[in-house]
Amino acid sequence: MINAINRRRFLGTTAVAGAVTLATVGGAYAQSGELSVWKFGGTPNEVEQWAGRNDAFSEANPDVELNYSYFNGQIRRQKILAGFQTRRLADVIVAFGQDIPEFVGFGMVQPLDDIAGDRIDGWKERIVPEVLESGMEDGKLYGLPTYVDMASFLAVNLDALEEAGFDRPPATWDELREYAKAMTKPGRPGIAFPATTAPVDINIFEGIAYANGGRIFDDETGKVTLNDPGIVDALQLYVDLIADGSTPAATSLTETFFRDTAQLFGQGRSAMWIGLSWLNTPWGVNEDVRWTGVPFPRPDEATGSFPPVNAIMDPTAILMVSARSDNPEAAIEYLDFWSQNEQLEIWGGQPEIARIPAGVAAWDNAELEAVWPNWVKAYNEGTLFEGAAPMPRFIGVSAIESALGTAIQEAVLGQKTPQEALDDATKAAQTQIDLIRG
């Protein structure tokens, strides 16, 4: 059963004007007319490639007038909710899988099963099953994924590693602290992590906490679980790294988000950094910096109340069709265009190597294997997605993640202990969830 969102409470003081009128999807539509697309986020390569492939779509569909707009990924929820409110939502939304439950609860997007017909059979052939499943909600397909990101990972400067006397990256939390202290030298901290309130920074932390058996919400009980030991201890790890003197100043961590942190590492100004699976590949590193990327170290023993996971993943360029679209047939034509191997192989190293590809054919590309041999090996062995879980995705996730972001900053800045910060965040977020869910 899909949980409906209490729109008035969810939007706070902003009322939704008028009743929701869904587009009629049972009639016939011509593959012509105007088609609006909003895309959120993406690496520089991806942004360039997407615009170029849009030109190919327009050439193949001359009767469709494509109106394409790109926006920063961090504003997607505000922009899409505002578009829905004002009845100016694009026909196709390219956003994050985390957004699907809320968008479905609002009635903002429509099931592709109802409008895509036999196109879905082709999608199932061309897209990795575990990745296609990330577009599902309540047994229906709402989004077509092009790739996924996974959390959390560690970038390691190999010269700094060897200088400190180590011959492999750290494998446990205790080793991480030991390595970070040993790899610290004046002007170059041993490790850096982003701790702003940007959603990606929060996702990076969630990957660490979920591997420790934490969860931010228990859907069965409807309870916020930010103060679960698995999350408290993960936040304590951040605080301990700061106390060890292995990181930049706490104020710097709370002001330097993931992209800036990646650039510091790429310039040789930190020996390690914590990020998502793409780590430095979107931005590169200085020629004199040798580096590798590995899964983030695990605790010696998970302390959370839930089963630990190997990684959490989310499709961060997933195509959805607005429930108010005036041209769903053209929208499906656009989705089908992006389901073709020619487009999906962008993320198989042609030319983008920063993402985990959704396309089956992309995994046969030599370019991808040259950069991420361990990814390709694990994919071919069937273990890449083993033990992985979706990034937190449920109605009200944005409210809980906002509270979590505040708690992370309070603990990092020493304003509260991790336990105090997460206790307070749990209470605040529970109030919001109760309002949202009625």
DSSP result, 152-180: EEEEEEHHHHHHTT-SS---BHHHHHHHH
Torsion-angle region of 42 (φ positive above 0: left; ψ -120 to 50: alpha; else: beta): left
Among residues 28, 51, 53, which one has the least CA distance to residue 39? 51
| Residue 388 pLDDT greater than 80, yes or no | yes
CB 343 within 8 A of CB 53: yes
* pLDDT per position as a tens digit, 13-30: 233 323 333 333 333 444
Please compute the mean of the pLDDT values over residues 224-245 and round it to a whole number: 98
Can you give the pLDDT at residue 7?
Answer: 39
Mean pLDDT score, 279-289: 91
Residue-wise pLDDT for 321-359, tens only, equals 999 999 999 999 999 999 999 999 999 999 999 999 999
Q: What is the pLDDT of residue 41?
A: 92
Name the one residue in this structure whose structure tokens are 């650039």: 263
pLDDT exceeds cutoff 90 at 10: no
- Residue 99 pLDDT class (50, 70, 90 cuts): very high
Band the pLDDT of 425: cuts 50, 70, 90.
very high
Average pLDDT, the chain: 91
- How far apart are alpha carbons 250 and 189 in whole angstroms? 12
Model pLDDT, residue 88? 92
- By the 8 A CB rule, do 369 and 376 touch? yes
Which tens digit of pLDDT belongs to each residue from 103-158? 999 899 999 999 999 999 999 999 999 999 999 999 999 999 999 999 999 999 99
Specify whether the CB–CB gap between 385 and 313 falls below 8 A: yes
Burial classification of residue 336, based on how many CB atoms lie within 10 Å of its CB (0-12 exposed, 13-18 middle, 19 or more buried): middle
Q: What is the 3-state secondary structure (H, E, C) of 358-388?
A: CECHHHHCHHHHHHCHHHHHHHHHCCCCCCE
For the segment 172-227, what is each residue's pLDDT rounded down to a tens digit?
Answer: 999 999 999 999 999 999 999 999 999 899 999 999 999 999 999 999 999 999 99
How many Cβ atoms are within 10 Å of 22's Cβ, its own excluded? 12
Instruction: Please state the pTM of the whole predicted model.
Output: 0.87
Question: pLDDT at residue 73 above 60?
Answer: yes
Instruction: Determine which helix (DSSP H) or strand (DSSP E) holds 217, and give its type and residue range.
Output: strand 217-218
422: how many CB neighbours lie within 10 A of its CB? 30
Residue whose tokens read 């046969």: 364
pLDDT of residue 161: 98
- In the prediction, which pLDDT does 322 show? 97
Helix axes 229-243, 173-182, angle to 10 degrees: 10
| Burial (CB count within 10 angstroms: exposed 0-12, middle 13-18, buried 19+), residue 188 | middle
In 3D space, the residue among 436, 435, 423 whose CA is nearest the CA of residue 226 turns out to be: 423
Q: Are 411 and 235 in contact (CB under 8 A)?
A: yes
**In the structure, what pLDDT confidence band is assigned to residue 8 with cuts at 50, 70 and 90?**
very low
